[in-house]
């Protein structure tokens, strides 16, 4: 249950940022706050938080690269 709750909260936080952010600044702010939220939610031991942030950043970079490759990223 704790894992499911953490996942749900972690998914809702970037959505809230996207809802209030201006369109021109949307991508950098959602990416940055997502990494911050990942660090905060995985911050029990620092090594765990760093691991979660690293893999989260890598996943965002790969997703952005694929979007650029297929012409769907702004």
Delimit the domains of the chain by residue range: 2-69
The full DSSP string for 46-67 is HHHHHHHHHHHHHHHHHHHHHH
Instruction: Give the tens place of pLDDT for each residue, 25-61.
Output: 888 888 888 888 877 776 666 677 788 888 888 998 9
Q: Which residue has the tokens 């996207």?
A: 18
pTM of the full structure: 0.55
Q: CA–CA separation, 66 vs 7, rounded Å?
A: 24
pLDDT score at 73: 63
Tokens standing for residue 8: 């749900």
Instruction: Give the tens place of pLDDT for each residue, 8-35.
Output: 877 788 888 888 888 888 888 888 888 8
Q: CA–CA separation, 41 vs 21, rounded Å?
A: 22
Q: CA–CA separation, 28 vs 2, rounded Å?
A: 29
């Amino acid at each position: 249950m704790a894992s499911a709750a953490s996942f749900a909260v972690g998914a809702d936080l970037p959505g809230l940022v996207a809802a209030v952010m201006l369109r021109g600044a949307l991508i950098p702010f959602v990416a940055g706050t997502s990494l911050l939220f990942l660090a905060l939610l995985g911050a029990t031991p620092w090594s765990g938080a760093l691991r979660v942030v690293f893999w989260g950043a890598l996943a965002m970079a790969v997703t952005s690269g694929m979007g650029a490759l297929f012409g769907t990223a702004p």
